[in-house]
Chain A
Amino acid sequence: MYYRIIKDDVLKSKGVTLATLLFIVAAAALVASGAALAAQLFGAVDALMEAARTPHFMQMHAGELDRASLERFASLNELVEDYSAGEFLNISGARFSLGSKTLADSVQDNGLWTQKAGMDLLLSLDGEMIRPVDGELYVPLAYLKDGTAALGDEASVAGRRFRVAGFLRDSQMNSPLASSKRFLVSEGDFEALRADGSVEYLISFRLKDPAALGAFEAAYAESGLPANGPTLSYPLFRLINAVSDGLLAALLTLSGALTVCISLLCVRFTLLAKIEEDYREIGVMKAIGLRLATIKRIYLAKYAAMAALGGAAGWGLSLAFRRPLLAGLKQSMGEGAGAGLGPALSALGASLVALSIVCYVSLALGRFRRLSAAEALRFGAPADARAGANRPRLSRSRVLGVNTLLGIKDVWARKRLYAVMAIVMAAATFMAVVPTSLYSTMASPGFSAYMGVGECDLRLGVQQAEDIPARAAAIAEALRADPAVLSSVALTTKALWTTDPSGARIRLKVELGDHRSFPVLYSDGVPPTGPGEIALSAMNAADLRKATGDAMVIYDGSSYRKLRVSGVYGDLTNGGKTAKASFEAPEAEAMWAAAYAKLRDPSRAAEAAERYATAFPYAKASDIGEFVRQTFSATLDSVKTAAYASVAVALAVAALISYLFMRMLIAKDRRPVAIVKALGFSEADLSAQFAVRSILVLAVGVSVGVLAADTLGESLAGAAITSFGAAAFRFTGDPLVTYLAIPAGLVLSSALASYVGARGAGRAAFVDHLKE
């Protein structure tokens, strides 16, 4: 019997059933894939870091290294299990050639490394420790993924010839978010090239108890050991490794959840329309004594079948796409312990989706309990709970036509019904506007200000060099003398000291110089202007629990300074923990320096960058547009794809839900429609009334969606951005797109679908409904 009922119902509404089924399949596939990816990811990250014996603590250091004190510290500190001080030979990207390509435009710090036994191992794509021989170059996996290099390519580094013998997994620097990339060569090749680059030490420690990392960090900072460079730790490596695939897993699961919501709405509207149509039949079934559970089963049967079919198909799809989905992850990190759980977890995800559909339908069918058999038989479906019969009044109307008034009155009287549709439209608008605005904000030239780089055309960085202040001064002098440069400034970052809220002494990276010329984006306050002021990055302000106006004490290598916090700014560079001040601290050790310049003709930034790269080979010269593009290119591409996909999905959802809503409305309203038609209202009048209702709901929904995107969406996007250290995120998207193109597109797609859905509403045999 159930088979026949399902078959009849499906044949009667083929299009709607298919659309709903597709959404269930998509939802199940997305959730199942998200679950499989998460299972794979978390196992794989740990497996990789375990196999590579990733350090728990790493200090980068440029300059002289006192190996004896380091040895002493490591042997005396009982937390240390093992340590190493490897040399990273930083070589200009322009001197790397891989096949027909060079790394001249790379914003990464590229360098050579030799394998160290015991810890921080660079692994082959089979997960084995690589042992290169002379003439072999092992290339970071990132350069395979972006198509820069291929196996067997002829390569050269600073004129020395190599062959690309393979690609490597680097548990510290795999991710594009890591700013350095290590190429693995033999000891002999490394020594032969030593004179062609600058050495930076990676001082790494493995601890007996990784939980004691905090205590170890404090002990290292207190010891006065080399610290001229950033500090990194195991949790950060883990986060960096997990973040891109983790985001994808989260995105898949979120999209799945959203698709489940869409499926539920489809189910709701079709089910309600069906109940409206069958109201008398349901009354008859109750009247002849069928039990409520039996009647519910008849209606549940179709959706249970759809949920089971959709869930199974979705799971099947996720299995089919498993290989390409996990390929990138497997390549980066290999197989993890959680991989075996993938199919089971994805089956669980798909089952949850199917179950949610069945539960929802079962809940929705609870309304049968309230249905009175006698009333259903006598009067058919009851009218919706209506309110406001007295507002607005036709009899008091001076201006509006009767169709407009009827449309307004209907929406006013059935606010709850229309609210569902308005919420769908608001959600679709939100879904389309937020990623689009995020993309246009990130793609805008002003975005560098969020990254801790003031709005400029040219950036010259001096890192890992001897006598940083003198070299920075030389660059500053050259910039000042350059007629192509409109304005410039040189800033030197030095390691100073302060205390955290627990009273522990911590190192603070303070960028010293004039911060008024190229200000970054301040979420609060202003740049430091006098010697008594300091500005903190958002992350440092949070860690140190300081706000604008607070006082703090800094040790600058020779004396203690009491400073006032002048402002808090966003910074995505250097781990997001920096500070800015304008005093001088000649005793403090310089970590790095940067010069910024604005050009008279900003379009010639790339050319200027090249000129300065030649003149100052120790400096990393970047045209700022290129700097932002390369640092964020992968993220920007993903956000762009997400933005386009979101707009497409939002348009499709708006159209489908509008269509289904209209069909439900017509099923509900067949009697009032019949009445007004009998009174002499034409189909054009009915279309006008439905159009007024749609326009009202669309206007409210789209306005709420845009407003929510501008407030809540901006905060959400801001939260994502600020987690990397930025502050005071503001959408600076194109208002024409946000406020005109997207809303217009949504309104058009919804209006078209409503029109198609409403077509023939009045053509239905309305005389039959008058007889009811």
Chain B
Amino acid sequence: MQHIIRAEGLIKTYGGVAARRRVLDGVSVDLGRGEFIAVMGPSGSGKTTLLFALSGMDRPDGGRIEFDGQDLSSLGERALADLRRKRMGFVFQQPSMLKHLNILDNVILAALHDRRGQAARLSAKARSLMEGAGIAELAERDVSQVSGGQLQRAGICRALMNDPLVVFGDEPTGALNSSAAEGVLEMLRKIHAGGTAIALVSHDARVAARAERVLFMRDGAFVAEERLGTFAGTGLEGRVDAVTAHMRALGI
């Protein structure tokens, strides 16, 4: 399998000399082109830190990350920003929208950065994505006028505007009720089906069970892996049981 991300021996420590804490302790992980992985673990296990390191938002203290053949440590702040904008998409736990832009402007925000004067074309693409997400009628609304689930779906549309190689999700359903969460997860499944790689971190076995591969993390290191195969929309309960059993066995 061709890899988009290849990370080896990642180390990240936080805190001063007196209270030094190793959050990533020699983590290695790969993400194949079009692959869907989920990282699970208890609070403080280093899941989010790993996600931010893989996406170039945070620099590890040790180890090496390659993204599509490029060594991230060799890239400057500007090049990393370009990479995030053009090749990656992000979905956060809280709907992270700029409050003084309406939904449509939020969706096209990053895409417009490199395409000055192409607002009309980008708006058309955004409306098409929002239609697919079932939120087309919300385009002109203020951020404060829509629900959390709708905002999260708008966030996914924003993540897809630049046709990324990979979408990163940090607990994307963490702040949603179960029906809103289902809608978001279904969107992610379709994105993956379209050939985009996905890397999620989550506490929730029902979220992780959509992934092809689930990595279990504790104290800054992977302790196990579950290969579930591609999720085609059916047989979810069995996959959830498998993930839950693994978690129980690991005491997570």
Contact = CB atoms under 8 A, between A and B. Distances in A.
23 contacts: A383-B99, A386-B99, A389-B100, A389-B102, A389-B143, A393-B104, A394-B108, A394-B112, A396-B119, A401-B113, A401-B116, A402-B109, A672-B98, A675-B97, A675-B98, A679-B109, A679-B110, A681-B85, A683-B81, A685-B81, A766-B57, A767-B52, A770-B96
B81 A389 contact: no
B109 A394 contact: yes
Interface in B222-247: none
Contacts of B25: none
A636 B116 CA distance: 55
Contacts of A683: 77-78, 81
Interface string B111-154: 01100110110110010000000000000101100000000000
Contact of A402 (B52, B100, B116, B142): B116
Interface in B194-222: none
A412 B126 CA distance: 25
A398 B117 contact: yes
B105 interface: yes
A678 interface: yes
A402 B105 CA distance: 10
B112 A680 contact: no
A394 B105 CA distance: 6
B61 interface: no
Contacts of A772: 94
A399 interface: yes
For chain B, the bracket of interface size reads 35 or more
Interface in A658-698: 671-672, 674-685
B168 to A, nearest CB: 9
Given A402-B109, A679-B109, A766-B57, A394 B92 contact: no
The 8 residue pairs across chains A and B that have the minimum distance between CB atoms: A680-B85, A682-B81, A413-B100, A680-B84, A394-B105, A679-B110, A395-B123, A682-B78
Contacts of B82: 680, 682
B155 to A, nearest CB: 10
A400 B84 CA distance: 23
A496 B81 CA distance: 86
A230 interface: no
Nearest to B56: A680
A394 B119 contact: yes
Q: Most chain-B Cβ atoms within 10 A of its Cβ — which of A394, A414, A675?
A: A394
Interface in A373-424: 383, 386, 388-390, 393-403, 406, 409-410, 412-414
A771 interface: yes
A647 to B, nearest CB: 36
Contacts of B186: none
Contacts of B105: 393-395
Contacts, number: 111
B180 to A, nearest CB: 17
A765 to B, nearest CB: 8
Contacts of A402: 109, 112-113, 116
A679 to B, nearest CB: 4
B240 to A, nearest CB: 26
Interface in B158-209: 158, 170
Contacts of B170: 770
B8 interface: no
A397 B111 CA distance: 13
B67 interface: no
Interface of A: 383, 386, 388-390, 393-403, 406, 409-410, 412-414, 671-672, 674-685, 765-767, 770-772
Contacts of A681: 81, 85, 110, 113
Given A409-B101, A680-B113, A681-B110, A390 B140 contact: yes
B109 A676 contact: yes
Interface of B: 48, 52, 57-58, 77-78, 81-86, 88, 90, 92-94, 96-102, 104-105, 108-110, 112-113, 116-117, 119-120, 122-123, 126, 140, 142-143, 158, 170
B69 to A, nearest CB: 19
Nearest to B100: A413
Q: Most chain-A Cβ atoms within 10 A of its Cβ — which of B98, B112, B143?
A: B98
A680 B48 contact: no
Contacts of B126: 395
Nearest to B158: A679
B104 A389 contact: no
B39 to A, nearest CB: 15
A681 B57 CA distance: 11
Given A389-B102, A394-B101, A394-B108, A678 B117 contact: no
A673 to B, nearest CB: 10
B84 A389 contact: no
Nearest to B143: A389
A678 B90 CA distance: 8
A71 B158 CA distance: 102
Q: Most chain-A Cβ atoms within 10 A of its Cβ — which of B97, B100, B116?
A: B100
Contact of A771 (B48, B85, B112): B48
B142 A395 contact: no
A674 B96 CA distance: 9
Nearest to B123: A395
A678 B84 contact: yes
B104 to A, nearest CB: 5
B92 A389 contact: no
B103 to A, nearest CB: 10
Contacts of B158: 679
Q: Most chain-B Cβ atoms within 10 A of its Cβ — which of A674, A771, A772?
A: A771
A658 B98 CA distance: 24
Contacts of B109: 394, 402, 676, 679
B81 A393 contact: no
A677 B96 contact: no
B114 to A, nearest CB: 9
B100 A682 contact: no
Contacts of A676: 98, 109
Contacts of B84: 678-680
A410 B126 CA distance: 22
Given A389-B102, A395-B105, A770 B78 contact: no
Contacts of B110: 679-681
A772 B83 CA distance: 24
Contacts of B112: 394, 397, 402
A770 B100 CA distance: 18
Contacts of A393: 102, 104-105
B68 to A, nearest CB: 15
A767 B108 CA distance: 22
Nearest to A683: B77
A690 to B, nearest CB: 15
B57 A395 contact: no
